[in-house]
Structure 1
Amino acid sequence: MAARNKVEKINTSVDTDYISHTSIEQLPDFCLDRIFQNFSIYDRIRIERVCKRWQHVSKDSWYTVTKLDSILPHIENIGRVERSLTTDRYILRQVLNRCGKYLLSLDLRKEEESRRYGEVTVPVIISETCQKLQVLNLSCYVIEVKSFLRMIPVCENLTKILFALLGDAQDCEDAIIKLLRKTRKMKHFWTHYAVVHFDSFPDSIEEFRLDGCTIKSSPNPTNFDNLHTLVLRKPKNFNDTSLEIISGMSNLKSLKLSFIRSHSQVTSNGMKHLSNLKNLQKLDIRGNRQSFTDEVMKEIAGNCKQIVFLNISHNHLTERGISELSKLKELRYLTMRNLTGVRGENLWRLSTLEILNCSYCYDIKTENLCTLVERSVDLKKIVCLGCNINDNLLEVAADATARRGNETVLNICFDFTMSPEKIAEIVNRSPKLRIYGYNIALEIKHESENCDGRFKDDDWYDSMSMEYDMTDVDTDDATDIENDAESDDEDLLMSVANESEYEDESENVEISENEDLSENEIESEE
């Protein structure tokens, strides 16, 4: 026993002695380099204040940073002082001075909680520090056009850019043309409230996303053989000729053409041009009440056989138009909100349907949804908020899903009144049925614990988010539920942009040309 205690005492003393003489200062520079690379971007700036050696090693360790999403640590409940750093251009300059020459992708959309209007500093910083950028996301800023022009010389290698400009319409138009002449490798282009020439884009373009833009084109533009995605929301200067030009983009797979203005010159005959897009897989045509009719739906359904996702919300369609959807044998996702007069008599014909959102279709009948549930064994989700349906849908769904030979679970989201006890009884009749409803989820959470975990808040929000499990599928914004297709937020945006209160407050902050800490500061930190 004495010998054992002696051995343990010796081992303890050895470990203690080893630890007492070990210091991080004994690590070679390459070890510190690897350690610093695991720190957050913000902390890598802070550790330079420790000593001169750490400052030198830290500055040389940024060669691995080729993609930058945020300069703040990814932590929850960031305090008010730290959150203010997201608008500190001095910190951004320090970061880009260290890693800008290595950056290939810069995404600053997380730096702001809302768009900053009249931004002039950020593009200047980018132009001085980043020379190899291929991806640039400035969608959280509305940039002064003069500042944007200073950034164009470093955009030669860009393949993807997201931005918005503030200034005279002609100046903004010229700036975009200069950008596109400089970037001949452009593949993904997103902007809003600008004048855009289709003829200015290179043949390499694969994706357009234009929000509230004025579209211009020559009579015989290029067909953009590589273009697969086109998003036009609230387009200006749009007419039947524009639709004819789009119909020539034969390789287009995803098209969003939503909320065309009521005073535009788009007719139903012009809409029929879209039926020439034989390779179309996703079509979002919501909010075109005056031009998207049953006849247009017939033409598209008869020719665009590959459509998988379809959004026809806020349009003047009738049962005749809905019946044409049965021709789409690949259709799996259907959103048809706010279709007045549609009763759903032909929904049962959609045998391949997996997700249906028929919210605010006030005339839809319970019995028609019941027939759909009974016949569609692959149906995964039904969202019927704001519909005049009753609990018979849930009863039928419980029996139908219990008989399913596959493992597909049906989720139903509703907002009609029903007791938690009744909901629990129906759910427990079928392991392949989950039910969500306003207030019901919260009541079940407090009053019933025997629902096999089907009323968790996470499930509730997953149901409400309507994620379609499909790449690049835009879900409906919450505002679109209540707003009419004629709603227009452009005037609000532009009026706000012109107010002086949105001037960049950070312009009063001096940006030091030499961001390095002085020797006195380092010594004081030591």
Structure 2
Amino acid sequence: MKSLISFHLTDCNRMNFFGNSLNHLPFDTVEEICLENVQNVDNYLLCSIIEKCIKLRKICLYRLFGPGIDSILEALVSQAKNLRNIELRISGTIVKEIENLPKFLSNMSQLRSLEKLDFINAGGFINDEFLEIVAKNCVQLTHLNIAGKNSVTDKGICNISKLKKLLFLDMRDIPNIISPPLEKMQNLEVLCCWNCRKIKEATLFLFLQEAPNLRAIDVRECPSVTTELLHVAENVVENRESKKILEIYIERAKIPDNFFYEKPDLLTIGIGSFEGVKYGFENILKCEKIPQIRIQPNAI
């Protein structure tokens, strides 16, 4: 095989067993890597693969067992010129602690071409300082997902409000978000605040009034949200020039009985799961490029 674009390895409990075989693949043409539910990952092997991918644009690491985040990020710096998309999902994963936080942040600051960044359930190292680094250096970002129980506060959201190209923000389940300056993110099209238990409804009022391109917002499990938010949304969609449909995800108990009969045509209630792909934001786990290799060793 002379040209390999996509490499996916899923449900593997013995990645190191394939070490010698993997070294013979033409990673110099690979643009996408996805490792999902892979155990016994050797840092050296994974980092050496990344360093060989001189055309790497996307990488998804989902439920990996064993690798250190800091060493992975350091390897990704070698591909900073082309790298556009990082997705790191840590839920249910045994991940080594970051050994050198300043170096980790320094590496993050070098990924200046990133357009999409997903650090989901990443815990303590996703904080205000991390978002300050992102805001200063990753100015091409259009998609940011920092969902999960982390230590981000209003200050961190204030930092990323400076990202003028940001269209998608998922900050669900962050416990210390209260009154962030969301109104500064006037280009946002999709916002998820699910289970932000402390966020103030007045903050969301102001955001709706200052976000002319907003297409979807998830405010489920936000205790401060009332039916008044729907009334504000009604006024917003009736008066904004873009005439775009606005979809609000909200608990059924907070929807007035007469809402569906009186609401503007441009305002709808979101149904089902809240996913960015529904609004045109790519799911990195889906790959349609060829040629590609998908390996599921445990199924053999």
TM-superposed CA distance for 1:270, in Å, is 4.5
Matches within 5 A, 1:338-487: 338-388=173-223, 389-415=225-251, 417-418=253-254, 420-424=256-260, 426-427=262-263, 430-436=264-270, 460-461=271-272, 464-466=274-276, 467-473=278-284
Sort the Cα spacing of 1:464 and 1:157 in 2 relative to 1 into closer, same or farther, 3 A: closer
TM-superposed CA distance for 1:244, in Å, is 1.7
User: Who is 2:123 aligned against?
Assistant: 289
Letter in 2 for 1:244: E
1:398/1:426 contact within 8 Å kept: no
Matches within 5 A, 1:38-77: none
**What's the secondary structure of 1:424's corresponding residue?**
helix
User: Who is 1:269 aligned against?
Assistant: 102
Higher CA-based Rg: 1
Which has the bigger relative contact order, CA under 8 A and spacing at least 6? Answer: 2
Matches within 5 A, 1:169-248: 169=14, 172-181=15-24, 183-184=25-26, 202-213=27-38, 214-217=41-44, 222=51, 224-235=53-64, 236-248=66-78
TM-superposed CA distance for 1:156, in Å, is 7.3
**What's the secondary structure of 1:290's corresponding residue?**
helix
Distance in 1 between the 2:194 and 2:116 partners? 20
**1:318 aligns to 2:150 (yes or no):** no
Sort the Cα spacing of 1:375 and 1:240 in 2 relative to 1 into closer, same or farther, 3 A: same
**What's the secondary structure of 2:253's corresponding residue?**
coil
1:271/1:291 contact within 8 Å kept: no
Distance in 2 between the 1:204 and 1:419 partners? 52
User: What is the number of equivalent residue pairs in this alignment?
Assistant: 277
- Segments of structure 1 that go 5 or more residues without pairing to the other structure are 1-154, 185-201, 437-459, 476-496, 498-502, 505-526
Sort the Cα spacing of 1:177 and 1:364 in 2 relative to 1 into closer, same or farther, 3 A: same
Corresponding residue to 2:134 among 290, 300, 317: 300
TM-superposed CA distance for 1:158, in Å, is 5.9
Q: Deviation per CA, 1:127-159, whole angstroms, max 9, x where unpaired?
A: xxxxxxxxxxxxxxxxxxxxxxxxxxxx77765
Q: Deviation per CA, 1:269-327, whole angstroms, max 9, x where unpaired?
A: 34412221111000001111121111011001111001111100012200110111111
TM-superposed CA distance for 1:257, in Å, is 1.7
Sort the Cα spacing of 1:309 and 1:332 in 2 relative to 1 into closer, same or farther, 3 A: same
TM-superposed CA distance for 1:367, in Å, is 0.9
TM-score by length of 2: 0.81
User: Who is 2:294 aligned against?
Assistant: none
2:5/2:29 contact within 8 Å kept: no
Corresponding residue to 1:254 among 74, 85, 94: 85
User: Who is 2:291 aligned against?
Assistant: none
Letter in 2 for 1:234: R
2:234/2:267 contact within 8 Å kept: yes
1:390/1:416 contact within 8 Å kept: no
Distance in 1 between the 2:227 and 2:167 partners? 25
Q: Deviation per CA, 1:348-398, whole angstroms, max 9, x where unpaired?
A: 111110001110111111111110000111111011111111011111111
Sort the Cα spacing of 1:419 and 1:361 in 2 relative to 1 into closer, same or farther, 3 A: closer
Sort the Cα spacing of 1:287 and 1:275 in 2 relative to 1 into closer, same or farther, 3 A: same
Distance in 2 between the 1:321 and 1:240 partners? 21
Distance in 1 between the 2:72 and 2:12 partners? 26
**What's the secondary structure of 2:125's corresponding residue?**
coil
1:380/1:411 contact within 8 Å kept: yes
Distance in 1 between the 2:10 and 2:36 partners? 10
More strand by share: 2
TM-superposed CA distance for 1:211, in Å, is 2.2
Distance in 1 between the 2:216 and 2:207 partners? 12
Sort the Cα spacing of 1:163 and 1:225 in 2 relative to 1 into closer, same or farther, 3 A: closer
TM-superposed CA distance for 1:232, in Å, is 1.3
- Segments of structure 2 that go 5 or more residues without pairing to the other structure are 287-297
